[in-house]
């Protein structure tokens, strides 16, 4: 293989004098595209220090979460043995059992449910951790259940769905070749620090940046223009940009004439969003809208980078995202160098050109041989294009038992605080006949389970990693799994013996399954093991540009669709119509009398990640008490000072937090991070406050009030 790749790393160094060995591995606390290379300094089989690897994309750096890796791995609350519940659900009373007993109980109960009410009565679920997903999905389908579900029912898949409806495929921005980048509701400095450096490099080379989002972020000072929208109004802003671009004739006429469907209707729709009208809706000055439209359409090539979730966490999120996407085609930046490139993922959400057959691996049984998925009745468009069950609908179906009962769940990293109306989700999960949760910690969700299994961290396991820079890696554990904890993959492959006895491939084991997935690449796990920091694969096939010229678009019309045929077929708006958030000062003036402020939740913080970082002292110290950000103007009106304890409330409830007075949030808006056990902001959001098409929760635009908390 030597002519195919360059090794990216030197070999391991032994520091004989100190007895400390440097072991390369990865930190996997955040998104799969980052997962920084780490040098773990190991002495007496314990990690004594972690350092960012110099040889990987993070170039020697680690973020706050990564740097706290040792406190995470060696946390006193780490689960170290399998547990079976002995007390009431939620009380946390468990007793240790052997792996053998735990796994045989799980097999017995899940197979019983399968016999009694069908395999579809069991959900196989993965939370934010993603690395076990290919194996878990295959296990579900080989068991006979269509219900593999994940956190992706709140994350990215609605963005992807919008792109599929517009273009037939998902697209990604080519930052390094673009002349102008429209960064729409994304804060890479917090959400993806090692990759945000590319943005600064491009900026130095002259990249123009337009930032869209209500919050001031570290990107703002690098942006040429910041369009500070009212939360939830992205669709109106996108249509206003289209209005200017069309009126001024600075769109790509040739592309629009030859390759698009529904331009006339779209143009008519955009006519209603002249900059002055849009200013009233979005709060963005008309003059800035015009400037941004001219800059974006006047730069060739230009690309749009949207976040994985903030544009779609609204009741009109999917259509807003479609309105944003439409700008790519309108300006002729679709699938061109430096625009938005169609580059399908190769393995676990990463596009790098190294061919695999992961899709084939995961779907071991066709949908037609299984029951309808959870959520298929309510969100058919999402289910048509996203090959999963809709986890947002699981709490409802567990209660209603319609169209069929859901009774069992095998979950890896289940966190009920991820759901809107998290208390509702919690009570739903309590109703299951049998719940298994695999986690590193005894979380509040794990306390609801019948069986809790201890997973190990990325420092203690081996996994296949793909990175955008054409790098592939089989990671090495730096230490043995703590206590009796095990890797998620080992647990899945053990369970396959009894839950999927007919699946010979799954039963051939973990590494053999990965070899099968990797077959088209020509690599095997055994080859990759020789390269502790991975390989750069040189001869990959990066998809060409303007593929549509040969193949057409993968939409029903074969064109880019301003008007979606699929949506029309489902009786939905085919145009990207703008609708107010269901709970906004404009659409719900009665509610706004008591709850006049706009609540947006979950904008990323550099030191927290969903539910996970709160237990790590070094990270909690950055924000010891729960905090809600509010503008000093709103604070003054309420007689509030920095750090005051306040009640943040919606019509559904209240949480007690400290007020953080900051101009990073505009007047009239309150921003709070989610997942906090003592102040769970998702209890303030109705479980059904969702986008009707994608089913995504509208975490980022609703109504609230802030008042001084009673002593
Ligand atoms: N440190 C850290 N990193 C993470 C995560 C984490 O929890 N912690 N989570 C990971 C996950 S799961 C995801 S999905 C990504 C998300 O990461 P990003 O896609 O970067 O999204 P956010 O940081 O949530 O929001 C980015 C910007 O969206 C804008 N925004 C906020 N509210 C609204 C709104 O109502 N409407 C619009 N249009 N824009 C709004 C704000 O200006 C905000 O700065 O981050 C990933 N990375
Ligand atoms: N209000 C509000 N709510 C939100 C969001 C928001 O912006 N606002 N964002 C939404 C989005 S985009 C997302 S992605 C979700 C986040 O989704 P969640 O799934 O809630 O994310 P986490 O809390 O990071 O992880 C869940 C669990 O996985 C466990 N875990 C970590 N690593 C492993 C592992 O290797 N193996 C196993 N078995 N378990 C592991 C953790 O300990 C934790 O208990 O939250 C969503 N909820
Ligand atoms: Mo996410």
- Residues β-bridged to residue 182: 210, 304
Q: What is the pLDDT of residues 546-594, one digit of tens each?
A: 999 999 999 999 999 999 999 999 999 999 999 999 999 999 999 999 9
CA of 430 to the centre of ligand 2 (A): 19
Alpha-carbon distance 481 to 317, whole Å?
A: 41
- Residues β-bridged to residue 95: 84
8 has a pLDDT exceeding 50: no
Alpha-carbon distance 547 to 335, whole Å?
A: 7
Residue with tokens 């635009």: 701
Burial 567-595 (b: 16+ CB within 10 A, else e): beeeebbbbbebbbbbbbbeebeebbeeb
Count of alpha carbons within 13 angstroms of residue 443, beta-carbon side: 29
Element at 467 (helix H, strand E) = strand 464-467
* pLDDT grade for 392, boundaries at 50, 70 and 90: very high
More confident residue, 4 or 484: 484
Beta strands in 282-407, from DSSP E residues, in sequence order = 302-306, 340-341
Element at 527 (helix H, strand E) = helix 525-528
SS3 225: strand
* pLDDT grade for 2, boundaries at 50, 70 and 90: very low
Read off the tokens for 604.
Answer: 């990323």
Q: Which of 306, 307, 629 to mutate to test the pocket of ligand 1 (most atoms within 8 A of CB)?
A: 307
Residue with tokens 């659409």: 587
Read off the tokens for 219.
Answer: 């990107």
Q: What angle do CA 347, 463, 513 make, to 5 degrees?
A: 70
User: Does the beta carbon of 151 lie inside 6 Å of ligand 2?
Assistant: yes
Q: What is the pLDDT of residues 242-287, one digit of tens each?
A: 999 999 999 999 999 999 999 999 999 999 999 999 999 999 999 9
CA of 155 to the centre of ligand 3 (A): 4
Q: What residues contact 372, with CB distance under 8 A and at least 6 apart? A: 146, 403
CA 289 from chain center: how many Å?
29
Q: How many CB atoms lie within 10 A of CB 379?
A: 25
- Of all protein residues, the one whose alpha carbon is nearest to atom 38 of ligand 1 is 311
Q: Which of 129, 157, 213, 324 to mutate to test the pocket of ligand 1 (most atoms within 8 A of CB)?
A: 213
Q: Which ligand is nearest to the CA of 697?
A: 2
- Of all protein residues, the one whose alpha carbon is nearest to atom 13 of ligand 1 is 308
Alpha-carbon distance 421 to 498, whole Å?
A: 35
Alpha-carbon distance 681 to 708, whole Å?
A: 17
Count of alpha carbons within 13 angstroms of residue 123, beta-carbon side: 33
User: Does the beta carbon of 674 lie inside 6 Å of ligand 2?
Assistant: yes
Q: What angle do CA 514, 518, 523 make, to 5 degrees?
A: 110
H-assigned helices in 3-128 = 64-67, 69-73, 99-117
Quick one: pLDDT at residue 13? Answer: 54
* pLDDT grade for 9, boundaries at 50, 70 and 90: very low
User: Closest Cα partner for 149 from 501, 442, 451, 408?
Assistant: 408
Residue 650, classified by CB atoms within 10 Å of its CB into exposed (0-12), middle (13-18) or buried (19+), is buried
104-118, 184-198, 317-331 — which is least confidently predicted?
Answer: 184-198
User: Does the beta carbon of 309 lie inside 6 Å of ligand 2?
Assistant: yes
- Of all protein residues, the one whose alpha carbon is nearest to atom 7 of ligand 1 is 609
| Helix 317-330 and helix 157-167, axial crossing angle in degrees, nearest 10 | 50
Quick one: pLDDT at residue 58? Answer: 95
Dihedral, CA atoms, 600, 601, 602, 606, nearest 10 degrees? 70
Compute φ and ψ for 630, nearest 5 degrees.
-145, 155
Q: Which of 128, 441, 453 to mutate to test the pocket of ligand 2 (most atoms within 8 A of CB)?
A: 128
Alpha-carbon distance 209 to 226, whole Å?
A: 9
Alpha-carbon distance 459 to 472, whole Å?
A: 17
User: Does the beta carbon of 438 lie inside 6 Å of ligand 2?
Assistant: yes
CB 387 within 8 A of CB 364: no
Report which DSSP code applies to 389: B
Q: How many CB atoms lie within 10 A of CB 204?
A: 9
CB 180 within 8 A of CB 295: yes
Residue with tokens 């001219």: 294
17 has a pLDDT exceeding 70: no
* pLDDT grade for 4, boundaries at 50, 70 and 90: low
Instruction: Characterize the bridge pairing of strands 180-184 and 302-306.
Output: parallel
Quick one: pLDDT at residue 541? Answer: 87
Q: What is the pLDDT of residues 199-240, one digit of tens each?
A: 999 999 999 999 999 999 999 999 999 999 999 999 999 999
Read off the tokens for 46.
Answer: 């314990």
CA of 185 to the centre of ligand 1 (A): 7
Q: How many CB atoms lie within 10 A of CB 32?
A: 18
Alpha-carbon distance 568 to 479, whole Å?
A: 55
CA of 196 to the centre of ligand 1 (A): 14
> What atom of ligand 1 comes closest to residue 610's alpha carbon?
7
- Of all protein residues, the one whose alpha carbon is nearest to atom 47 of ligand 1 is 191
User: Does the beta carbon of 188 lie inside 6 Å of ligand 2?
Assistant: no
CA 581 from chain center: how many Å?
22
CA of 618 to the centre of ligand 2 (A): 19
Residue with tokens 């799994």: 481
User: Does the beta carbon of 439 lie inside 6 Å of ligand 2?
Assistant: yes
Between the alpha carbon of residue 660 and those of residues 36, 102, 142, the distances in Å are 31, 46, 50
CA of 623 to the centre of ligand 2 (A): 19
Q: What is the pLDDT of residues 519-545, one digit of tens each?
A: 999 999 999 999 999 999 999 989 999
Q: What is the pLDDT of residues 440-492, one digit of tens each?
A: 999 999 999 999 999 999 999 999 999 999 999 999 999 999 999 999 999 99
* pLDDT grade for 1, boundaries at 50, 70 and 90: very low
> What atom of ligand 2 comes closest to residue 308's alpha carbon?
12
CA of 672 to the centre of ligand 2 (A): 16
- Of all protein residues, the one whose alpha carbon is nearest to atom 28 of ligand 2 is 413
Percentage of residues in the chain having pLDDT higher than 90:
96
* pLDDT grade for 18, boundaries at 50, 70 and 90: confident
Alpha-carbon distance 695 to 392, whole Å?
A: 7
User: Closest Cα partner for 199 from 230, 178, 169?
Assistant: 178
* pLDDT grade for 649, boundaries at 50, 70 and 90: very high
SS (H, E, C) 253-315: HHHHHHHEECHHHHHHHHHCCCHHHHHHHHCCCHHHHHHHHHHHHHCCCEEEEECCCCCCCCC
Q: Which ligand is nearest to the CA of 696?
A: 2
| Helix 488-499 and helix 99-117, axial crossing angle in degrees, nearest 10 | 50
CA of 425 to the centre of ligand 3 (A): 18
Q: Which residues surround ligand 3, an ion (CB under 5 A)?
A: 155, 309
Pocket of ligand 1 (CB under 6 A): 30-31, 155, 185-188, 190-192, 213-215, 217, 229, 231-232, 234, 307-311, 600, 602-604, 606, 608-610, 700-701
Alpha-carbon distance 257 to 266, whole Å?
A: 13
Cis peptide, bond prior to residue 403, ω within 30 of zero: yes
Q: Residue range 615-633: average pLDDT? A: 98
Q: Which ligand is nearest to the CA of 230?
A: 1
* pLDDT grade for 418, boundaries at 50, 70 and 90: very high
CA of 675 to the centre of ligand 3 (A): 12
Quick one: pLDDT at residue 12? Answer: 52
CA of 31 to the centre of ligand 2 (A): 11
Between the alpha carbon of residue 232 and those of residues 136, 281, 357, 581, 598, the distances in Å are 35, 10, 38, 6, 10
CA of 238 to the centre of ligand 3 (A): 23
User: Does the beta carbon of 321 lie inside 6 Å of ligand 2?
Assistant: no
Alpha-carbon distance 376 to 386, whole Å?
A: 11
User: Closest Cα partner for 676 from 599, 584, 596, 613?
Assistant: 613
CB 339 within 8 A of CB 22: no
600 has a pLDDT exceeding 90: yes
* pLDDT grade for 10, boundaries at 50, 70 and 90: very low
User: Closest Cα partner for 350 from 463, 469, 458, 461?
Assistant: 469
Task: Supply the mean pLDDT for the chain.
Answer: 96
Alpha-carbon distance 661 to 637, whole Å?
A: 12
Element at 702 (helix H, strand E) = strand 702-708
SS3 510: helix
Q: Which of 191, 323, 391 to mutate to test the pocket of ligand 1 (most atoms within 8 A of CB)?
A: 191
pTM of the complete model: 0.97
């Amino acid at each position: 293989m030597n002519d195919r790749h360059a090794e990216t790393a030197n070999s391991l160094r032994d520091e004989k004098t100190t007895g400390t060995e440097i072991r390369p591995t990865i930190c996997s606390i955040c998104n799969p595209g980052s997962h920084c290379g780490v040098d773990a300094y190991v002495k007496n089989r314990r990690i004594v220090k972690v350092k960012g690897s110099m040889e990987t994309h993070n170039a020697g750096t680690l973020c706050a979460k990564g740097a706290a890796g040792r406190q995470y791995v060696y946390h006193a609350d780490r689960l170290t043995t399998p547990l079976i519940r002995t007390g009431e659900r939620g009380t946390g009373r468990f007793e240790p059992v052997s792996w053998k007993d735990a796994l045989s109980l799980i097999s017995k109960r899940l197979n019983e449910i399968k016999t009694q009410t069908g395999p579809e009565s069991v959900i196989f679920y993965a939370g934010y951790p993603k690395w076990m997903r290919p194996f878990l999905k295959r296990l579900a389908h080989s068991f006979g259940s269509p219900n593999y579900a994940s956190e992706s029912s709140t994350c990215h898949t609605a963005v992807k769905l919008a792109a599929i409806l517009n273009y037939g495929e998902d697209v990604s921005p080519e930052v390094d070749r673009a002349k102008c980048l429209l960064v729409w509701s994304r804060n890479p400095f917090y959400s993806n620090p090692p990759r945000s450096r590319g943005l600064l490099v491009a900026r130095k080379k002259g990249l123009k940046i337009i930032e869209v989002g209500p919050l001031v972020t570290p990107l703002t000072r690098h942006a040429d223009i910041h369009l500070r929208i009212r939360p939830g109004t992205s669709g109106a802003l996108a249509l206003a940009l289209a209005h200017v671009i069309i009126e001024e004739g600075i769109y790509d006429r040739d592309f629009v004439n030859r390759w698009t469907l529904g331009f006339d209707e779209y143009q008519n729709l955009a006519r209603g969003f002249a900059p002055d009208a849009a200013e009233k809706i979005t709060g963005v000055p008309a003059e800035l809208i015009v400037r941004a439209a001219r800059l974006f359409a006047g730069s060739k090539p230009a690309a749009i980078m949207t976040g994985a979730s903030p544009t779609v966490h609204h009741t009109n999120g999917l259509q807003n995202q479609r309105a944003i996407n439409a700008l790519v085609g309108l300006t002729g930046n679709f699938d061109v160098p430096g625009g938005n490139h169609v580059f399908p993922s190769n393995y676990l959400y990463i596009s790098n050109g190294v061919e695999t057959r992961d899709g084939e691996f995961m779907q071991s049984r066709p949908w037609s041989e299984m029951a309808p998925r959870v959520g298929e009745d309510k969100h058919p468009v999402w289910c048509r294009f996203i090959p999963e069950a809709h986890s947002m609908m699981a709490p409802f179906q567990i209660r209603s038992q319609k169209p069929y009962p859901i009774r069992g769940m095998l979950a890896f990293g289940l966190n009920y605080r991820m759901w809107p109306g998290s208390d509702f989700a919690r009570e739903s999960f309590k109703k299951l006949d049998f719940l298994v949760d695999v986690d590193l910690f005894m979380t509040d969700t794990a306390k609801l389970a019948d069986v809790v299994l201890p997973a190990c961290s990325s420092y203690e396991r081996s996994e296949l990693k793909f990175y955008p820079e054409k790098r592939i890696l089989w990671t090495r554990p730096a230490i043995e799994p703590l206590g009796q904890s095990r890797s998620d993959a080992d647990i899945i492959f053990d369970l396959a013996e009894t839950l999927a006895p007919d699946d010979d491939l799954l039963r051939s084991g973990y590494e053999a399954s990965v070899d099968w997935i990797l077959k088209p690449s020509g690599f095997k796990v055994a080859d990759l093991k020789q390269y502790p920091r991975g390989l750069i694969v040189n001869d990959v096939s990066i998809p060409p540009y303007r593929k549509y010229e040969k193949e057409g678009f993968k939409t029903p019309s074969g064109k880019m669709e301003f008007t979606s045929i699929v949506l029309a077929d489902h009786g939905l708006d085919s145009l990207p119509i703008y609708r107010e958030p269901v709970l906004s000062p404009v659409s719900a003036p009665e509610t706004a009398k008591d709850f006049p402020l706009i609540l947006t939740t979950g904008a990323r913080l550099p030191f927290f990640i969903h539910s996970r970082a709160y237990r790590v002292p070094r990270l909690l110290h950055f924000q010891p008490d729960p905090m809600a950000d509010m503008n000093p103007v709103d604070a003054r009106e309420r007689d509030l000072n920095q750090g005051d304890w306040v009640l943040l409330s919606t019509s559904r409830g209240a949480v007690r937090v400290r007020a953080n007075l900051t101009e990073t949030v505009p007047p009239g808006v309150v921003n709070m991070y989610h997942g906090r056990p003592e102040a769970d902001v998702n209890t303030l959001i109705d479980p059904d406050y969702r986008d009707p098409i994608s089913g995504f929760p509208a975490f980022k635009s609703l109504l609230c009030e802030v008042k001084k908390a009673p002593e």
